[in-house]
Chain A
Amino acid sequence: TQLLEQSPQFLSIQEGENLTVYCNSSSVFSSLQWYRQEPGEGPVLLVTVVTGGEVKKLKRLTFQFGDARKDSSLHITAAQPGDTGLYLCAGVTPGGTSYGKLTFGQGTILTVHP
């Protein structure tokens, strides 16, 4: 069974601060996805990283996939209250018959105070 350890579980910061969320595993994933979830709604895909060492930017959010494709990080610059939510990383199981099965981390609840 593949596991993804996500940390920290909770982050409470002031507007304007920077933060990083980590996802780590001993398993290799074919790709890694990051989702954001608002209360009462389903997760919404933010980004997918596929290649080892890949870096993707989405406005103030920077996503990185580890060289060995076992870990990933999400960095937010100058956080805003609108960034508040649950952030989830999810690894795609490798293999042709995996059919996109995802292994999720436990999630990080981010609260950004004005």
Chain B
Amino acid sequence: DAGITQSPRHKVTETGTPVTLRCHQTENHRYMYWYRQDPGHGLRLIHYSYGVKDTDKGEVSDGYSVSRSKTEDFLLTLESATSSQTSVYFCAISDGSGSYEQYFGPGTRLTVT
């Protein structure tokens, strides 16, 4: 299994508070991605990174920001959490070879009350 961890695994927070989720990899993969998973929607891409300090928006980026200051860590920040951001968040990594096969972390369940 790819060495990818997410922290925290569960979090409950109040509306309006900032929240940061961390993704850490030990595979030295160049590409990292943040997705959210909601019933009936599959997974939707929030932001992705194609190198240190190189990031771009995905299809559902509003209300989220990311940072990648080193290869192994990719942070997702909700500046002011809203109830619509209650979801399960997954991080994925890829080395970009072949067809960009992605390896997913175990997920973070975030509840915004």
Closest residue of chain B to A109 (Cβ to Cβ) is: B39
Q: Which residues of A contact B94 (CB under 8 A)?
A: 100
For the A-B complex, the count of residue pairs with Cβ-Cβ distances under 8 Å equals 70
Known: A1-B59, A99-B48, A106-B40. A42 touches B100 (CB 8 A): no
Known: A43-B90, A92-B99. A107 touches B42 (CB 8 A): yes
Complex contact A42–B42 (CB within 8 A): no
> In the complex, how many angstroms separate the beta carbon of B58 from the nearest chain A beta carbon?
7
Complex contact A99–B105 (CB within 8 A): no
Complex contact A102–B102 (CB within 8 A): yes
What are some 30 contacts across the A-B interface (CB < 8 A)?
A: A9-B40, A30-B99, A31-B99, A33-B101, A33-B102, A35-B104, A40-B106, A41-B106, A42-B92, A42-B104, A42-B105, A48-B99, A88-B43, A99-B50, A99-B56, A99-B96, A99-B100, A100-B94, A100-B100, A100-B102, A101-B45, A101-B58, A102-B33, A102-B45, A102-B102, A103-B45, A104-B35, A104-B42, A105-B42, A106-B40
Q: Which residues of A contact B106 (CB under 8 A)?
A: 40-42
Task: Indicate if A44 sits at the interface (CB-CB under 8 A).
Answer: yes
**Which residues of B are interface residues toward A (Cβ below 8 A)?**
31, 33, 35, 40-45, 48, 50, 56, 58-59, 90, 92, 94, 96, 98-107
Q: Which residues of A contact B99 (CB under 8 A)?
A: 30-31, 33, 48, 50, 92, 100
> In the complex, how many angstroms separate the beta carbon of A11 from the nearest chain B beta carbon?
16
Q: Which residues of B contact A99 (CB under 8 A)?
A: 31, 48, 50, 56, 96, 100
Task: Indicate if A111 sits at the interface (CB-CB under 8 A).
Answer: no
Known: A99-B50, A106-B41. A43 touches B96 (CB 8 A): no
State which residues 31-63 of A face B: CB under 8 Å: 31, 33, 35, 40-45, 48, 50
Complex contact A43–B43 (CB within 8 A): yes
